[in-house]
Amino acid sequence: MSSAPSMRVSEQEHFHLEDTSDIERSIWVLNPPNPPPLRNKLFSPLKKTVSFFSSKKKTCLGHAVSFLESLFPILTWFTNYKASKFKEDLLAGLTLASLSIPQSIGYANLAKLDPQYGLYTSVVPPLIYAVMGSSREIAIGPVAVVSLLLSSLVPKVVDPAVDPDAYRNVVFTVTLFAGIFQAAFGIFRLGFLVDFLSHAALVGFMAGAAIMIGLQQLKGLLGITHFTNKTDVISVLESVYKSLHQQITSGEKWYPLNFVIGCSFLIFLLIARFVGRRNKKLFWLPAIAPLLSVILSTLIVYLSKADKNGVNIIKHVKGGLNPSSVQQLQFHGPQVGQAAKIGLISAVIALTEAIAVGRSFASIKGYHLDGNKEMLAMGCMNIAGSLSSCYVATGSFSRTAVNFSAGCQTSVSNIVMAVTVFLCLELFTRLLYYTPVAILASIILSALPGLIDISEACYIWKVDKFDFLACIGAFLGVLFESVEIGLLVAVSISFAKILIQSIRPGIEVLGRVPRTEAFCDVSQYPMATSTPGMLVIRISSGSLCFANANFVRERILKWVAEEENELAKGRVQAVILDMSNLMNVDTSGILILEELHKRLLSRGVQLAMVNPRWLVIHKLKVAHFVDKIGRQWVFLTVAEAVDACLSSKLPDP
């Protein structure tokens, strides 16, 4: 085959591709556009950030309007907001508030904070999200998983039993850092960082966290006063056994009324949940059941004076508007680093749950949710929350489902819910004095079944065993060690999966499918036949790099040796590398290709390349590897390469 001419294909020939010669087609591969420079790759996220809020070809006023509309999506739809929509949002918001008030108090108790801080978290963050968020259905407030996360990590910094004020201050600082991280993820378009916690890992983590949250509620359900700060299942069960055993042996009286009240209302809540799922028209029943349980249990305790008989009650709940917590943020001392670390973990978990919930309901309504804008909205609301006595807030799946079922049209339902909770803080907190602690435990327990998705775990097992390993690793890590260990195990297994796939990329021997020009994997398509004397190999990997280059070389040489040992097929004359799936190559990969070329030449085997991507061919040309194998051995298709090798006089060994 003669050397390739240096001229480019003329415009006329572009309209007659069927008449184009093989040499000219090879020119297309050898002379692609230059890949973008390194600075474009490094600074493209920043350029996207600049255009995050506005577009080109606009006046200064247009840019300002675009910026405000992007920052506050409420401006784009509120001008067309109608009274009919407000009626539906009002109903949804009131229904949402009836569920949020008791849940917020319970989740604050789970986070080892006073009840009012859960209510505070259901006021400011939802208002901020309503004007900055793009989801119409998501319900903002405290959630069980994040509350458990804080109650398991923050006590390692400050013990809430020893210094509750310092513990609360660290929680506010963690919330500030979580908001800063979330806003940074959105501004710099770093949403991919959240994806490192895979779907499978999240399923396992949620299930493990749900069981741990349930075990934590044994304290309130059984009326135990002395309880462990650890969250693993062994420590919790051991603490329950020791507490009950100590009460029995020491003669201290145990009051079963806590257990009776908690279990009675738990059964009621579960029945309401079951009825609401079976009959969609009764969606409001499981929504108001928690508030109804609080009202009834409070009345029962007040009228029967059950608190005098050992029933643990909430007692004082501070009311009024969210007080400022600016002065309580901690920016000095060794606690800051720990707070930032916990804030990062909380930010990732909160974002993962919120975006998953938001996208699920957005797909039902048929609109797109911008993940980066959601991160910015979440970050701003948590920053504002940290300054107004709130802890980390995010989107709740159970409350979002209620909001959706109640027929919400826009995020105004969050505003209605926040105003309702605020009115509760102003007017009704005194009525919560006699609310039994056991009822909060039963409310949290009733919400946990939604976090355990056994059918999804079975689906993951059927589809991908490695994903199931990440799922079960996160589950067991949370259950038997801690939230941190569970997350670490899940992320480690996910990284190990990526690493194994990088080190052991797909390398396939191709054959021609009969009566076609297509070359496919002979393992997948047994009818595909190999060409005598030709070994066609496809490298199915994103990159040929230091991690996998040696593996690729050894596998190719092994196949060449195996082919030559089969005397019936004769010796291998050419190795054709299909690089269509190869996106990049580094210096280690180029060195391995050069070594492979030398080893093949010593055997009398010609090396050819097919359709390398523009970044790959650019690097191979700069490294002079294309000149070493010869430009005539670079082809556009596998069929052209095979035909050229068959028609050429290949070197003898």
pLDDT tens digits, residue range 324-363? 999 999 888 788 999 999 999 999 989 988 888 888 788 7
What is the rounded CA–CA span in Å between residue 122 and residue 105? 10
pLDDT value for 388:
96
Main-chain dihedrals φ then ψ at residue 161, nearest 5 degrees: -75, -30
What averages of pLDDT result for each successive group of 10 residues across the chain (653 residues)?
Answer: 39 44 70 69 56 57 76 84 89 91 92 94 96 91 92 91 92 97 89 73 86 85 75 83 74 76 92 87 86 92 87 87 92 89 92 85 81 91 96 91 88 94 92 90 87 90 90 90 81 82 83 88 89 89 87 91 69 90 91 94 91 90 92 90 80 48
Class of domain 506-647: alpha beta
Beta bridge partners of 609: 577, 634
Side-chain half-sphere CA neighbours of 49 within 13 A: 15
Distance CA 344, CA 181 (A): 6
Asked if 221 and 227 touch (Cβ cutoff 8 Å), the reply is no
pLDDT of residue 15: 37
Cα separation, 28 vs 644, whole angstroms = 17
pLDDT at 269: 92
Q: What are the angstrom distances between the C-alpha of 367 and each of 361, 363, 415, 609?
A: 9, 6, 21, 44
3-state secondary structure of 59: coil
Spatial neighbors of 499 by CB under 8 A, at least 6 apart, are 547
Domain assignments of the chain as residue spans, ordered by start: 83-495, 506-647
Q: What is the pLDDT of residue 5?
A: 38
Angle at which helix 465-480 crosses helix 199-216, to 10 degrees, equals 20
Cα distances (angstroms) measured from residue 438 to each of 77, 99, 109, 236, 590: 43, 17, 11, 17, 67
* Other CB atoms within 10 Å distance of the CB of residue 44: 12
Which tokens is 40 given? Answer: 């474009």
Contacts of 1 (CB under 8 A, 6+ apart): 23, 632, 644, 647, 648
The single-letter code of the amino acid at 62 is: G
| β-bridge pairing 584-585 and 543-544 | parallel
| C-alpha span between 472 and 456 (Å, rounded) | 12
Please give the DSSP secondary-structure letter assigned to residue 624. Answer: T
Per-residue CA distances from 134 to 96, 130, 188 (Å): 19, 8, 18
Residue 521: phi, psi to the nearest 5?
Answer: -65, 125
Query: What pLDDT was estimated at residue 213?
Result: 85
Q: What interhelical angle do 454-463 and 199-216 show, nearest 10?
A: 150
Q: Identify the H or E element spanning 635.
A: strand 634-635
What pLDDT is stored for residue 50 in this prediction? 53
> What are the structure tokens assigned to 636, written together?
């556009």
pLDDT at residue 449, rounded to an integer: 85
Q: What is the pLDDT at residue 250?
A: 67
pLDDT at 43: 58
Q: Which residues contact 585 (CB under 8 A, 6 or more apart)?
A: 543, 544, 545, 593, 615, 616, 619, 620
Res 28: pLDDT: 74
Q: Look at residue 10 in the predicted model and tell me its pLDDT.
A: 42
What's residue 17's pLDDT?
Answer: 42
The predicted structure's pLDDT at residue 46: 54
- Based on its alpha-carbon atoms, the radius of gyration of the chain, rounded to whole angstroms, reads 32
216: exposed, middle or buried (Cβ count in 10 Å: 0-12, 13-18, 19+): buried
Query: How is residue 119 written in tokens?
Result: 């209510």
Task: State the Cα–Cα distance between residues 406 and 92, nearest whole angstrom.
Answer: 5
The CA-CA-CA angle for residues 641, 646, 648, to 5°, reads 90
